[in-house]
Amino acid sequence: MASSESANTELTVTGYIQHHLQNLTYGKLPAGYQRHEAGGVHTLEQDTWTFAHSAEEAKDMGFMAVHVDTLGWSIFLGLVFAFVFGRAAKKASIETPKGMQSFIEFVFEGISKVVNDTFHFKSNFVGPLALTIFCWVFLMNLMDLIPVDWLPLAAAKLVGNDHLYFKVVPTTDPNATMGMAISVFILMIFFSCREKGVWGFVKELTCHPFFAPKEKWYLNILLIPINTILETVSLLAKPVSLGLRLFGNMYAGEVIFILIAITFGVGFFVGILGGVMQWVWAVFHILVILIQAFVFMVLTIVYMGMAFDSHDEQH
């Protein structure tokens, strides 16, 4: 849907915004479901896996629906990262680095310094994890700088559907950000159990932050449930805050780009003002893109450090 179509009426503006915020969703609609199409209402005779034609259909597809655009772009950008860094590694030389090798060494050294300053344990896993997270999240965030209509319009023309839903910024989808956050959370649990043992991990949840001395052991009957509640809430809050922080910042930035794009359909002078606003916001948003990737990486390193850290129990 082009931005020039979006400023005639309030309904059109609303539809334009909703269209750009809706993912390309593939899922199952049950038998008997009534689909509202251009030719009228069509009733499905059997369970059907299909692409959603509206936000309502995407919602009705339920939990098992897949956001094809989010998965496609995130996987594609992950492959781009792997290809570029892998190619640079193969061509790396001990001579003075040039071009892409110099840039990649700059990124690698910067992330290595952050890891060394933040993570004080021995691990061959955390460093590569931090590098992958930063570069992958940064590339996904970077898609936000592409004008909001370009890729959706190209995809719509390619498939012959002018109303195709197509979001190109994976980190504006909470499914992507929460998926990454939950993956980090699973790694936290795994390394906590590996480094401290399952019993040691359980003790962390039940013996902190309050624990009575041995001579008053009976107080732990009350303290252990309180500790468990506090530590469990704190533990579960980590992936939630990690995923929602990234999603919230990127989603807000995407909405502002969409609102600015609406001005291009209002008139010549307003369109010029919109171009200036878009440029200013893009320059500012570069910082947001970089900072959010950095914050996600740093928090991941901190959480991994907490997983490796073993409290010295004195009881």
Does residue 145 lie in a domain region? Answer: yes
Query: Is residue 167 situated within a structural domain?
Result: yes
Token digits of residue 6:
């979006």
Identify whether 249 is a catalytic site residue. Answer: yes
Residues 226 and 205: their CA atoms lie apart, in Å, by: 10
**Structure tokens that stand for 310 in this block:** 């073993």
State the CB neighbour count (10 A cutoff) for residue 1. 19
Residue-number span of the structural domain to which 42 is assigned: 3-308
Q: Residue 43 has which token pair? A: 């009733």
Question: Which residue in 78, 79, 97 sits closest to 88, CA to CA?
Answer: 97
pLDDT of residue 4: 37
Give me 255's structure tokens: 């909405």
Q: What is the pLDDT of residue 267?
A: 83
Based on the number of CB atoms within 10 Å of its own CB, is 296 exposed (0-12), middle (13-18) or buried (19 or more)?
buried
Per-residue confidence band for 210, with pLDDT thresholds at 50, 70 and 90: confident
Tokens of 213: 């001395």
Residue 260, classified by CB atoms within 10 Å of its CB into exposed (0-12), middle (13-18) or buried (19+), is buried
Question: What pLDDT is stored for residue 8 in this prediction?
Answer: 39
Q: How far is CA 44 from CA 27, 31, 164, in A?
A: 14, 5, 21
**pLDDT, average across residues 120-134:** 96
pLDDT at 7 over 90: no
From the list 23, 74, 227, 249, the catalytic residue is: 249
- 315 within a domain of the structure (yes/no): no
For residue 9, is it within any domain? yes
Poorest-confidence range of 158-172, 201-215, 291-305? 201-215
Cα distances (Å, whole numbers) of residue 279 to 4, 103, 245, 250? 19, 25, 24, 17
Residue 314 in any domain: the answer is no
Give 247 or 89, the one with higher predicted confidence. 247
C-alpha 171/C-alpha 158 separation (Å) is 24
- 241 catalytic residue (yes or no): yes
% of the chain with per-residue pLDDT over 90: 72
Active-site annotation holder among 4, 54, 123, 245:
245
DSSP reduced 3-state for 61: coil
Number of domains observed in the structure of the chain? 1
- Whether residue 222 is predicted with pLDDT greater than 60 in this model: the reply is yes
Helix (H, G, I), strand (E, B) or coil at 140: helix
Q: Which of 102, 112, 161, 241 is catalytic?
A: 241
Cα 139 from Cα 75, distance rounded (Å): 11
Residue 313 placed within a domain: no
Alpha carbon distances (Å) from 224 to 207, 218, 232, 233:
6, 10, 12, 14
Element (H, E) at 50: strand 48-51
**pLDDT, position 36:** 83
Radius of gyration of the chain (CA): 25
Per-residue pLDDT tens over the stretch 132-160: 999 999 999 999 999 999 999 999 999 99
pTM, rounded to two decimals: 0.90
Q: Are 311 and 208 in contact (CB under 8 A)?
A: yes
Q: Is residue 229 part of a domain?
A: yes
Write out pLDDT tens, residues 49-62. 999 999 999 999 99
**Phi, psi at 46, each rounded to 5°:** -150, 170
Q: What is the pLDDT of residue 10?
A: 46
Give the per-residue pLDDT at 314: 42
Average confidence score pLDDT of the chain: 90
Report how far residue 21's alpha carbon sits from residue 258's, in angstroms, rounded to the nearest whole number. Answer: 9
- Given a cut of 60, whether residue 1 has pLDDT beyond it is no
